[in-house]
Structure formats: structure tokens, C-alpha cells
């Protein structure tokens, strides 16, 4: 089983994220590498802020 970053396609090997060839018939598990996880988390934070803004506006209206 290989853990593959669904954003940049890097593969986790020995706790490091590297660009590597994946052999055929390998079971893949998709996730986020450290870098893309941080990007995704900050995007989620931004989205939450936007949603909070919208919710507040709805409450006012
Ligand atoms: Zn990545």
C-alpha cells in the first residue's frame, strides 16, 4: 500500500514525501503530503472565515 498525495502526486516513503514511480497493482491510499496538507488546512480556514461572514450576514438580514 502506497500513500499518495492527491494534490501533487508525491509518494510517502520512510516518512518522506518524494516523487516516485508506483508499481502496477499497488494499492493506493490517497491523502495529503505535509506541504499540501498545510495548504489545504489554510484553505479550509479561509473557507470557514468566509462561511462565518455569510452566516453573520444572514443573521443580520
Ligand atoms: Zn502534495
pLDDT for 61 equals: 63
Residue 48 CA to ligand 1 center (angstroms) comes to: 22
Domain ranges of the chain: 2-60
**21 alpha carbon – ligand 1 mean position (Å):** 15
**What are 4-61's pLDDT values in tens digits?**
999 999 999 999 999 999 999 999 999 999 999 999 999 999 999 999 988 887 776 6
Please give the distance, rounded to the nearest whole angstrom, from the Cα atom of residue 59 to the centre of ligand 1: 38
Bridge partners for 39 per DSSP:
none
Claim: this prediction has a pTM higher than 0.75: no
**How many other C-beta atoms can be found within 10 angstroms of the C-beta atom of residue 37?**
14
Please report the pLDDT score of residue 59 as a whole number: 73
Amino acid at each position: 500500500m502506497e500513500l499518495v498525495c492527491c494534490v501533487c502526486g508525491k509518494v510517502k516513503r520512510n516518512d518522506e514525501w518524494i516523487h516516485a514511480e508506483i508499481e502496477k497493482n499497488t494499492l493506493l491510499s490517497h491523502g495529503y503530503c505535509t506541504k499540501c496538507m498545510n495548504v489545504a488546512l489554510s484553505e479550509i480556514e479561509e473557507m470557514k472565515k468566509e462561511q462565518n461572514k455569510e452566516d453573520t450576514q444572514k443573521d443580520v438580514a
